[in-house]
Chains A and B, each alone.
Chain A
Amino acid sequence: MLPEQTSPRPLIKGGRQIEDQWLRHDDETAPAEGKAIVRLDVWLASDRRDSLAPWLPSDTELDAETIAALREAPLVAIDFPKFTDGRGYSVARVLRERHAFTGEIRALGDVLIDQLVYMKRCGFDAWSLREDQIVEDALNAFNAFSRHYQVSIDNPEPMFLRRQREACAHQPEPALA
């Protein structure tokens, strides 16, 4: 887990940097006032559900009760304790695909430029970047790929179906030599 956050980190949402209203708190109690992203258990126990939001650890196993509660959250954050911990990708994807979660899913923690594009494809739509990351490079990194082979949150059609659709619509593009 990263050190407690004291000042806002660069927040990316909707293809640009925006002002972050939310501070992360890892304490066992919620702050008395102000918007804060707190531990899931703290959030579940609090009655400030609109000005507090939960963060989920990467090993979260979502049960029905938690899912129902999360629907009320202003946003759900998923923690990346280390950028190489890939569990958060599955957590986000399951939230979106299986539980039809439509609110903000924010990546928190060791969030680096070169993972953003894959996080987006798994359903994240907001990123609290680690302080040292360069926002301009981060915004560029989203444009790495113009198409995808497999189904993902931003691509409901796998490549084999896209090819079939395109072959119907017009002559297929010729295979390259």
Chain B
Amino acid sequence: MYRYDNHDQTLVEERVEQFRDQMRRYLEGKISDEEFLPLRVQNGLYVQRYAPMLRIAIPYGMLASYQLRKLGEIAARYDRGYGHFTTRTNLQLNWPKLEDVPDILAELATVQMHAIQTSGNDIRNTTTDQFSGIAGDEEVDPRPWCELIRQWSTFHPEFFYLPRKFKIAVTGASDDRAAIQVHDVGLRLWRDDAGEVRVKVLVGGGLGRTPMIGETICEDLPWQHLLTYLEAIVRVYNQFGRRDNKFKARIKILTKALGVDEMRRRVEEEWAHLKDGPQTLNQQAIDEMASHFVEPPRREIDASDIESYEALRRNNRAFARFVTNNVTDHKVSGYKAVTLSLKRSSQSPGDVTSEQMAAIADLADDYSFGELRVTHEQNLVLTDVAVDQIEELWHKLDELGLANPTVGTLADLICCPGGDYCALANAKSIPVAQAIQERFESLDFLYDLGPLDLNISGCMNACGHHHVGHIGILGVDKKGEEYYQISLGGSQGNEASLGKILGPSFFREDVPGVIDKVLQVYVGERQPDETFIDTYRRIGLKPFKEFVYAA
């Protein structure tokens, strides 16, 4: 876990004072609404449908227990006692008071947290693999690199007023769990034959109104040049990205318009001037950063303990279900990563109460060296749990309502805040999520369906990543009425693809029935061991369409 030094701490504190002064001048009427807007969103503050919303950064999804405890306290004191984890691994408070925000930011600074650049037309929170540092398929631990990018992008003076937001995702594993193909810039860290880190750089991916898969702009950038190369990309984007139409302003549109070869040429031309400059990384910088992400003091786990864990799994069906779905293998034998499900029909997807935050922080201290991860599927992960403690942890999670053994299934859906909170929404998304969770409650049915990503967004902005859901649901507005458009065949990961629209949209109350029909087609058509997405790829959209729209 990265710990601030005096420089980092000073900077977040100075930021709080800067914003406090801006807020004061705004409330005194010295800054107009329009001119205050970029200032507040650069600090994560939105003015929403019913109240302000504050988006707090959780850099690359890493959270310490003391930070989560503080978030719980803040949610209780300044909000209505809960927060919402987003698909960008941030935490949103839905009901803070505008004038309280500087104080909230000051509280956050006491635990090395902030809301810097969680919104606005700037470089946003970098995201990565939730299993970084513990995944068996990892070549390079992305976390030190993410922190270097965080520092480089924080208050970057040239890039506060980009044409649009700019999102970077990083992975160092062969299985891409960070969705790098659908980011403005995606980075894949790998090692060459000499063992040196290289970076494959993708550019121009993204979701939103015009979803696109990123293209490779550089295969093998030597690590020393990571920051200068990123700077070249963002500068080209700053200068040439469209500013006349906000729906055409992302770097994906520029990349598409220029073509990736011309994009590469311009970036390299720019980079030629920055390359080998003072922001070129040296080994000491990497080592210093890596020293923050050391292996925790794990203990030796006896073979007999592993055996009793396996035996429990064989003999206890409920435990087995939990392990199969919510427990992930670890690079160290005897340890596992445990996913806490924030998906249950009683609470909105990704929501956590203050009490749950406090309790989860205690569990992180007791079972996982005081650290947690937030996933872009809106769950939490304890990354270092010894197998002889998993049963105990499971019971405690169950008491908290966080042990739903459904991670990766249809019930583990991704859902944006939608029309219940968000001012941009075309339609509500949370009631749709809850109706689906209620309709498909049977665990046996969920397991029979196997891995299935269902993603819901309340509008084209696609915060719920509906394009990359195997099943995607998008809220649309037709003459003031809420409708839902369904798409099939999206996926994230190594074989990322964008979903195709099934056909005309549906009323909200019809959505669970339509999903049911889609699932019936899958169940009827699938071959042994074939997942939903594989069946879809084999048979295409047509059979689904015919069945759903059959009179």
Could you list which residues of chain A lie within 8 angstroms of chain B, going by C-beta atoms?
A: 59, 61, 83-87, 89-90, 93, 97-98, 112-115, 117-122, 134, 137, 140-141, 144-152, 156-164, 172-173, 175-177
Q: How far is the CA of A146 from the CA of B7 in the complex (A)?
A: 9
Contact A158 B6 (CB under 8 A): no
Contact B112 A86 (CB under 8 A): no
Q: How far is the CA of A149 from the CA of B22 in the complex (A)?
A: 22
Residue from A85, A86, A117 having most chain B Cβ neighbours under 10 A: A86
Contact A150 B156 (CB under 8 A): yes
**B522 in the interface (beta carbon within 8 A):** no
Contacts of B162 in A (CB 8 A): 86
**Known pairs A117-B157, A145-B14. 6 more at Cβ < 8 A?**
A84-B38, A86-B160, A86-B163, A89-B161, A145-B15, A160-B289
**B331 in the interface (beta carbon within 8 A):** no
Complex partner residue of B151 from A114, A117, A157, A159, CB under 8 angstroms: A159
Nearest chain-A residue to B278 (Cβ)?
Answer: A151
Contact A159 B7 (CB under 8 A): yes
Q: How close is B166's CB to chain A, nearest CB, in angstroms?
A: 11
Contacts of B14 in A (CB 8 A): 144-146
Contact B288 A160 (CB under 8 A): yes
Question: What 0/1 pattern do residues 271 to 309 of B give for CB contact below 8 A with A?
Answer: 001000111011011001100000000000000000000
Q: List 29 A-B contacts (CB under 8 A).
A: A83-B35, A83-B161, A86-B121, A86-B158, A86-B238, A93-B158, A114-B31, A114-B39, A115-B161, A117-B157, A122-B157, A122-B158, A141-B21, A144-B14, A144-B15, A145-B155, A147-B7, A147-B10, A147-B11, A149-B151, A149-B154, A150-B156, A157-B278, A160-B151, A160-B281, A161-B278, A161-B285, A173-B6, A175-B4
Contact B7 A163 (CB under 8 A): yes
Contact B5 A176 (CB under 8 A): yes
Q: How far is the CA of A10 from the CA of B15 in the complex (A)?
A: 26
Complex partner residue of A152 from B39, B121, B157, B284, CB under 8 angstroms: B157
Q: How far is the CA of A115 from the CA of B39 in the complex (A)?
A: 9
A84 and B121 in contact (CB under 8 A), knowing A90-B239, A163-B5? yes
B window 106-120: CB within 8 A of A: 112
Contacts of A85 in B (CB 8 A): 161, 243
Contact B157 A137 (CB under 8 A): no
Q: How far is the CA of A141 from the CA of B20 in the complex (A)?
A: 12
Contacts of A122 in B (CB 8 A): 157-158
Nearest 4 A-B pairs (CB), nearest first? Answer: A86-B161, A121-B157, A118-B157, A160-B285
Contact B158 A89 (CB under 8 A): yes
Q: How close is B203's CB to chain A, nearest CB, in angstroms?
A: 18
Q: How large is the interface on B (under 10, 10 to 19, 20 to 34, 35 or more residues)?
A: 35 or more
Nearest chain-A residue to B151 (Cβ)?
Answer: A149
Contact B278 A156 (CB under 8 A): yes
Contact B158 A90 (CB under 8 A): yes
A176 and B30 in contact (CB under 8 A), knowing A84-B121, A89-B157? no
Question: What 0/1 pattern do residues 152 to 187 of B give for CB contact below 8 A with A?
Answer: 101111111111000000000000000000000000
**B320 in the interface (beta carbon within 8 A):** no
**B9 in the interface (beta carbon within 8 A):** yes
Q: How far is the CA of A85 from the CA of B9 in the complex (A)?
A: 30
Contact B238 A90 (CB under 8 A): yes
A118 and B278 in contact (CB under 8 A), knowing A90-B235, A147-B10, A164-B285? no
Nearest chain-A residue to B7 (Cβ)?
Answer: A147
Could you list which residues of chain B lie within 8 angstroms of chain A, going by C-beta atoms?
A: 3-7, 9-11, 14-15, 17-18, 21-22, 25, 30-31, 35, 38-39, 112, 121, 148, 151-152, 154-163, 227, 235, 238-239, 243, 273, 277-279, 281-282, 284-285, 288-289
Q: How far is the CA of A87 from the CA of B242 in the complex (A)?
A: 11
Q: How far is the CA of A161 from the CA of B152 in the complex (A)?
A: 12
Contact B238 A151 (CB under 8 A): no
Contact A175 B151 (CB under 8 A): no
Q: How far is the CA of A59 from the CA of B157 in the complex (A)?
A: 18
Q: How far is the CA of A24 from the CA of B52 in the complex (A)?
A: 40
Q: How far is the CA of A119 from the CA of B159 in the complex (A)?
A: 11
Contacts of B289 in A (CB 8 A): 160
Contacts of B9 in A (CB 8 A): 176
Contact B152 A150 (CB under 8 A): yes
Nearest chain-A residue to B3 (Cβ)?
Answer: A175
Q: How far is the CA of A151 from the CA of B227 in the complex (A)?
A: 11
A114 and B22 in contact (CB under 8 A), knowing A147-B10, A159-B7? yes
Complex partner residue of B35 from A98, A112, A148, A149, CB under 8 angstroms: A112
Complex partner residue of B239 from A87, A134, A161, A164, CB under 8 angstroms: A87
Q: How close is A8's CB to chain B, nearest CB, in angstroms?
A: 22
Contact A176 B158 (CB under 8 A): no
Contacts of B17 in A (CB 8 A): 144
Q: How far is the CA of A93 from the CA of B273 in the complex (A)?
A: 12
Contact B148 A176 (CB under 8 A): no
Q: How close is B242's CB to chain A, nearest CB, in angstroms?
A: 11
Nearest chain-B residue to A98 (Cβ)?
Answer: B273
Q: How far is the CA of A156 from the CA of B163 in the complex (A)?
A: 26
Nearest chain-A residue to B236 (Cβ)?
Answer: A90
Complex partner residue of B152 from A118, A120, A147, A149, CB under 8 angstroms: A149
Contacts of B288 in A (CB 8 A): 160, 163-164
Contacts of A152 in B (CB 8 A): 157-158
Contacts of A112 in B (CB 8 A): 35
Contacts of B151 in A (CB 8 A): 149-150, 159-160
Q: How close is B270's CB to chain A, nearest CB, in angstroms?
A: 9
Nearest chain-A residue to B6 (Cβ)?
Answer: A173
Q: How far is the CA of A175 from the CA of B282 in the complex (A)?
A: 21
Q: How far is the CA of A118 from the CA of B159 in the complex (A)?
A: 9
Contacts of B158 in A (CB 8 A): 86, 89-90, 93, 118, 121-122, 152
Q: How far is the CA of A90 from the CA of B235 in the complex (A)?
A: 7
Contacts of B112 in A (CB 8 A): 176
Q: How close is A163's CB to chain B, nearest CB, in angstroms?
A: 7
Contact A140 B161 (CB under 8 A): no
Q: How far is the CA of A163 from the CA of B284 in the complex (A)?
A: 10
A151 and B279 in contact (CB under 8 A), knowing A118-B157, A163-B5? yes
Residue from B18, B151, B158, B159 having most chain A Cβ neighbours under 10 A: B158
Q: How far is the CA of A140 from the CA of B22 in the complex (A)?
A: 11
Q: How far is the CA of A141 from the CA of B19 in the complex (A)?
A: 11
Q: How close is B248's CB to chain A, nearest CB, in angstroms?
A: 16
